[in-house]
Amino acid sequence: MIWRAIGFIGVQLLGGLCVWLALPDHTTIGALSGALVAGLAWFVVDTLRGARLLHWVRAGDASQPALTSGLWGEIAERVRRLVNIRERMTSDSQDRLNDFLGALQASPNGVVLLDHQGRIEWFNHTASQQFGLDARRDLQQYLGNLVRDPGFVAYLAGRDYSHELAMPGRDSTALRPVSLSIQLHPYGEGRLLLLSRDVTALQQAEAMRRDFVANVSHEIRTPLTVLSGFVETLQTLALTEPERERYLGTMALQAQRMQTLVKDLLTLSRLEGSPPPGLTDWVSMSSLMAELEREARELSAVLTAKAGRVLTLVFQSQYRCELSGSANELLSATSNLVSNAVRYTPPGGEVHVSVTLLPDGAVDFSVRDTGPGIAPEHIPRLTERFYRVDRSRSRDTGGTGLGLAIVKHVVQRHGAELTIASTPGQGSRFGIIFPPERVRQLG
């Protein structure tokens, strides 16, 4: 400011001096007039510079300052720096906001931002799918008018958001139920954050867990009841030797049934909790078929001795190969299919086990029987734990209801495919198709 004042005075003095020298009489009035004119000119130029600075500020272009010298130039430079700092801060804030919204957009849960009146300000793609929202149509719309579930409307209007709300999803049907968990969280000045997540799988898993516990309890309770009854009988009654032998035989059978159930449960637990087998271990299909034939003929002999069931067993494998995977798991899965066929095929029937090379290099292991067959409505559920087409018949043959569940897990772990075809009264065919990358041909 001092230099500005000095400059102003200097311009006046210079103007007065110029006029004083230019006039022949060198009068003081002339010098004062020259100083006044010079001061006025300085004021006009300074005002124009200020107006130029004001125009630059209004234009908002901070890339180049309007002036580079003088007081107005210094003001312009300082304004430019402040504007640049503010623009950088705004840009950084916008970047952080975009990153935050991007994270919310990528969230597997639904996110909806509501203003203080419950109108939609923003929502992510998951919420759009869960509630059927459209960004071009539904922004600034009242959410209660778009989600018409009575429970949600009451939850939104009740203003008590300390608990979650369970409600059916938009695409929920009786055959394919969809369940959402909703909770609102107040924030800011009356605004609301809505978080939603699809809990259908969790509810189904919980239902499966309850069914599993109930089924296991039921399967174990039956033989335990038999065992406890016979133990009490042996302890309290005087029995003949044949009666004792018969009771002890029944008890041994029920104990074996529980052991088989526990073994299958442990197998399932191991399959679900361990990594899938790699491609480095190879199992000979010929050895596997030989072991399956040995087990099948032993089981058939037991059934023949017990119930007079004579079956025809045919094992056919013209293709010599090796399978990549776990030998124990492959034997467990294939043995379950073969033993099921032997157990359920009536006297005089036939069980045919074969290995076939498919055109694409895959191998099809199949088990065909001439048993009673399975109705079409049961086939999709055969691999569920404890699912039985005929519970009484399954218990008579010693099944636990876990065999096909084990087969399904082994097949999935080996990247294979389980095929089931059956016609009531004509028999069934169960097959495992192993992909080409798990098959190695032998010369």
pLDDT of residue 223: 79
Residue 252 identity: A
Q: Supply 111's token pair.
A: 């996110």
pLDDT, residue 65, reads 62
256 shares its domain with 363: no
Question: Of the candidates 188, 192, 133, which has an alpha carbon nearest to the alpha carbon of residue 158?
Answer: 192
**Sign of the torsion angle spanned by Cα atoms 61, 63, 64, 67:** positive
Same-domain status, 117 and 48: no
Q: Round to whole Å and give the CA distance between 209 and 400.
A: 17
Reported pTM: 0.56
If asked whether residues 320 and 385 sit together in one domain, one would say: yes
Which residue type sits at 170?
Answer: R
**CATH code for position 213:** 1.10.287.130
DSSP 379: G
Q: How many CB atoms lie within 10 A of CB 106?
A: 10
Q: Give me 432's structure tokens.
A: 């495992």
Same domain, 183 and 229: no
Other C-beta atoms lying within 10 Å of the C-beta of residue 386:
19
Tell me how far apart the 2 most distant CA atoms of the chain are, in Å.
162
Measured torsion, CA atoms of residues 26, 28, 31, 33, in degrees rounded to the nearest 10: -130
CATH of the domain at 313: 3.30.565.10
Return the SS3 of 250: helix
State the DSSP code for 286. H
Contact of 313 with 297, CB cutoff 8 Å: yes
Is 227 found in the same domain as 348?
A: no
Three-class secondary structure of residue 278 per DSSP? coil
Number of domains in the chain: 4
Q: Same domain for 293 and 414?
A: yes
Q: What is the DSSP letter of 64?
A: S
Residues (pLDDT < 50) of the chain are 394
- The shares of helix, strand and coil residues in the chain, as percent rounded to the nearest 5, are 55, 20, 25
Same domain assignment for residues 73 and 149? no
Q: Could you give the CA distance from residue 285 to residue 323 in angstroms, rounded to a whole number?
A: 7
CA distances for 330 relative to 274, 287, 295, 388, 399, angstroms: 15, 12, 14, 23, 19
What per-residue confidence (pLDDT) applies to 13?
62
* Domain membership of residue 124 as a residue range: 107-198
**What distance, in Å, lies between the first and last C-alpha atoms of the chain?**
102
Same domain, 10 and 132: no
Question: Which of 172, 198, 224 is the endpoint of a domain?
Answer: 198
Distance CA 138, CA 122 (A): 9
Write the CATH number for 140: 3.30.450.20
CB 303 within 8 A of CB 348: no
Same domain, 284 and 310: yes
| pLDDT tens by residue, 332-366 | 999 999 999 998 888 889 999 999 999 998 999 99
Q: Which of 40, 75, 100 lies at the terminal end of a domain, its last residue? A: 100
Rounded CA-CA distance 237/20 in Å is 149
Residues in the chain: 443
Nearest-angstrom CA–CA distance, 424 and 377: 11
> Is 418 in the same domain as 342?
yes
Tokens of 317: 């494998």
Same domain, 327 and 434: yes
CA dist 74 → 45, 60, 196, 323 (Å): 16, 17, 55, 83
Grouping H, G, I as helix, E, B as strand and the rest as coil, residue 353 is: strand
Of 274, 298, 322, the position where a domain reaches its end is 274
Residues 270 and 280 in one domain: no
Q: How many helices (H) and strands (E) does the chain have?
A: 13, 13
